[in-house]
Amino acid sequence: MDKPVEGAGRYNVHGKFVLPAQYSLGNFQGLINVRSYTQTDKLRDKSATWDSVDWLRSITRLPIVSKGILTAEDAREAVKHGVSGILVSNHGGRGLDGVPATIDVLSEVVDAVRGSGIEVYVDGGIRMGTDVVKALALGARAVFVGRAVIWGLAYDGENGVKKVLEILRDEFSIAMALSGCRSLDEISADLVEKRSAYSSKL
């Protein structure tokens, strides 16, 4: 719902990437012949609102996770409409140029839903085990890893993905040890220092 149209990001529009003829986007098969990322705009329902979440809840017993939440206001709205979880995401910055990094708004979203029982996840910029520690410290229940997994897949298929996840796991374990955390419960917000603390006063 936060992305009713495809963004006009420089890399999307000017990159003009088109899949080679022998490949297709499997999750769109039978719906539309999509050859480039920008063509997925044809599949979007521009009329979607929060009421659409209510409708979706009425036809499924599956948990609904709202992706793309970046503000406390939207987080509270998601709670009001009965979502089971929130995924803090800026879609890799491909939607609207200049949106904040997910790690910078994570605390705001977590604070907004505190006490509701809703889990908060985060994606975007998770490249190292230390990134996972920071996200958990700021209140995320889990992180989603996309780009690094794709790199692993391109490198060596399934084995490459396994290698990427092993590297992240090992880096995460080392980061916990060097931070003095013996368990996940000991990862807390005081491990993270905001960049503004180091800004020049000039």
Tens digits of residue pLDDT in 10-44: 666 676 777 788 877 777 777 766 666 666 666 77
Q: Model's pTM, two decimal places?
A: 0.83
What is the number of alpha carbons within 13 Å of residue 98 lying toward its C-beta? 1
* Candidate list 3, 67, 91, 94, residue with the active-site label: 91
**Rounded mean pLDDT of 143-164?**
95
Q: CB–CB of 107/138 below 8 Å?
A: yes
* Angle (nearest 5°) at CA 121 between 41 and 92: 40
pLDDT in tens, 37-50: 666 666 777 788 89
Pick the closest to residue 90 from 113, 69, 111, 66 (CA basis).
Answer: 69
> How far is 163 from 140, CA to CA, in rounded Å?
24
- Whether 81 is catalytic is no
